[in-house]
Amino acid sequence: MIRAKCAWVWNKKFTVSRTTKVVGQPTNRVARPIPASSTLTHRQGPERRRRRFVCARASAPVEQEEEVKSGANLNGFFLDDEVLREIERGIAADLGLGNPSLPEETSALLRRLVRAGSSENDDEGEKFERTDERRVPGCASRVWLSAEVVDASGGLVCFRGDSDSAVSRGLCASLCRNFSGKLTPSEFLSLGSDFLKRVTADVDPILAGSHHRHGLHSIFDSMRKRANELTLADGAIPEPFPSLVVTAKGLHPKGAYAESQARYLEPDPARVRRLVDLLRETKCGVVAHFYMDPEVQGVLAAAKRDWPHIHISDSLVMADRAVDMVAEGGCEKICVLGVDFMSENVRATLDHQGHRDVGVFRMAADLIGCTLAEAAEAEGYSRYLEEAEKSSENSLHVVYINTSLKTKALAQHQVPTITCTSSNVVQTILQSSSQLEGDLSVFYGPDAYMGANIAEMLARLAQMTDEEVQKVHPKHDASSIKNLLSRFRYYGDGICVVHDMFGAEVADTIERCYSDAYLTAHFEVPGEMFGLALRASHRGGRGVIGSTQNILDFILSKVQESVSHDLSSERLQFVLGTESGMITSVVNSVQDLLRQAGSPVEVEIVFPVNSSAVVTGVQDAAPAMPSGLNVVPGVAQGEGCGMEGGCASCPYMKMNSLDSLLGVLEMLRGGGKDSDAVLQQLEPRKYSETVGGKTFAEVGTVPILHMRHFQKNKELSGELVADILARGRGN
């Protein structure tokens, strides 16, 4: 196998940069180079970092220890320059690249593609079998593709394809003709997933408003998938990840893990009725996070039909919906199904809205922790903020919403602080820098992977044109992004225990076996998974990075596109690069869409978990986890988590069981001294400590209010700007 060895080196210009050297190592499998297209492509867990926090000084490119000769040494393979030029010339000729600025070029290109498709040998086209196994997903029309190594060609890969659309047939014909018989499967893979994007950069503006742009990249991704299959020896094809196929009529799980996820999506009506009765009697609303166990979410989704005061969402929206349930729905109590900082956030938001008399209850007397939130309460995080606190520069601390009120309060006391979510963090940072006219140092924390991913996104933005940058934020250009990147820092020692496990092994399997699937990734995943999804998002919108809500919206938008094309036997495949608890919301939303349209489209949700990690009934509880709690609760058999393999389930979230919820509601209904004593232990953490003469709750809500102002007005509040200037250069 070809592996990448990485080392941290000191560089006066860039402060810290990463050197990558691709070296060959003996293996029984065919060599598959790891792409080196991103400075954050390879796994770098916080425990392996040399520094507690990282300065992203400037866009520091990866320094290759082995010189690339005329662009021909790609990922460890030396390719003939003339072969590459021949491929590029052929594709350019087929697409007529030359003057993409003329409006009539779109129709001219489509006519050219129709001719390219019709020029193929008709007899050969009739012999091509249009099987389901050869279908290319993600195209507006039906496309089929095959790949084989022809002995007479000396081991070179040959592609064949067909489509029921004349334009798509032309796209397929062009790619198949220009790549066939020129490269071995391994050489073809070494081109990288971005090769076609670079070659066809001039044609993207022409097809920007056309679904054929997506089809072009979908076909190329399927070619990569089929070429990879040719590189694997017999029996060496990895076991597929478990998945769940969703149709308008039902669910079809593949693999034991998927079976465990699907089991509770059609809940027991008796349990649903019991929950509804208890909620109605106690006048209680329920807010739950997307990461709840499928059993809980399945029952909650069914109960919502009879008791509307139930909501499943991201952490920030949970608090907003709790306020609505009280103010508009008449709820007198709120049950929070999430980790402790979520219940704290609900409590603080209700208090701020004047609803201090409303009870808020967690689902366990024990702490329902979060490794990410705990990292921000460590002493190291306070030391990290000392640089901003002691600096004479204008500084802003952008803290992830998934932290405790204590963290927010102490941070606000040290540095002007605003909270963020995974969906608004990039815009928060861009707007803050713009509003302070670039005179601002930004400190992000505590999620190390999200910080690294933000730095990578800024580095990529800095390499774009001013026009491209302004599509992301109208007040920025490439120069201002470079300035922001030089003043952006992130904490390097905080992780989400779930997203930390979407590492190198999972990313490699996805790239080899799911290259033609849509890729979704939460902002908290490591660089390997982030890089895959980021590159996919730049290839005709075949991926998304963001919050759980962003992921859900992306999936639904692609399903809606497919439904509108009205294709038969269409199957879309999505890799779910976040916690598997999302599957309930995905299934319910997708099925509603398919049923309303009467569509035969199938949607396959892939769980990227490590099938070699086995969770058994006698396995010890994970370190630092509640006693008796397995790493992946609910696993049916033989599939689970691995530290290098991927994990689809948060053990802390699973402390919020359906039995716990029913038990809390029974106590709320029954009352009595014993119940009251237990219920007191279920209330959110109350802080007696003060900072600056105010309680943690008072100070900790300030960063949240700053974020709410930003969300509403798309700019920092005057109060926050004044605080930044008062503690920085304005002091």
Beta bridge partners of 21: 5
Q: Which amino acid would we find at residue 502?
A: F
Task: Give the Cα separation of 545 and 423 in Å (integer).
Answer: 9
Instruction: Label residues 384-415 b or e (16+ Cβ within 10 Å = b).
Output: bbebbeeeeebbbbbbbbbbbbbbbbbbbbbb
Characterize the bridge pairing of strands 143-149 and 77-78: unpaired
* CB atoms near residue 73 (< 10 Å): 16
| CB-based contact 164:156 (threshold 8 Å) | no
Where helices occur in 64-165 by DSSP H, the ranges are 81-95, 105-118, 122-127
- 492's CB contacts (< 8 A; 6+ apart) are 46, 49, 51, 52, 53, 54, 448, 451
| CB-based contact 263:547 (threshold 8 Å) | no
Task: Give the Cα separation of 689 and 392 in Å (integer).
Answer: 29
Tokens representing 375?
A: 């990292």
Catalytic annotation present for 139: yes
| CB-based contact 334:285 (threshold 8 Å) | yes
- 389's CB contacts (< 8 A; 6+ apart) are 395, 414, 415
Tokens representing 59?
A: 């866009």
Tokens 């938001």, residue located: 349
Where helices occur in 154-211 by DSSP H, the ranges are 166-179, 185-190, 195-199, 204-207
Tokens representing 408?
A: 């927010």
Q: What is the 3-state secondary structure (H, E, C) of 434-480?
A: HHCCCCCEEEEECCHHHHHHHHHHHHHHHCCCHHHHHHHCCCCCHHH
- 166's CB contacts (< 8 A; 6+ apart) are 113, 114, 117, 118
* CB atoms near residue 625 (< 10 Å): 16
Q: Taking the C-alpha atoms of 666, 671, 675 and 679 in order, what is their torsion angle to the nearest 10 degrees?
A: 80
Q: How far from 361 is each of 50, 225, 372, CA to CA, in Å?
A: 41, 49, 22
From the list 6, 55, 139, 420, the catalytic residue is 139
Task: Give the Cα separation of 242 and 238 in Å (integer).
Answer: 12
Q: Which residues are catalytic?
A: 139
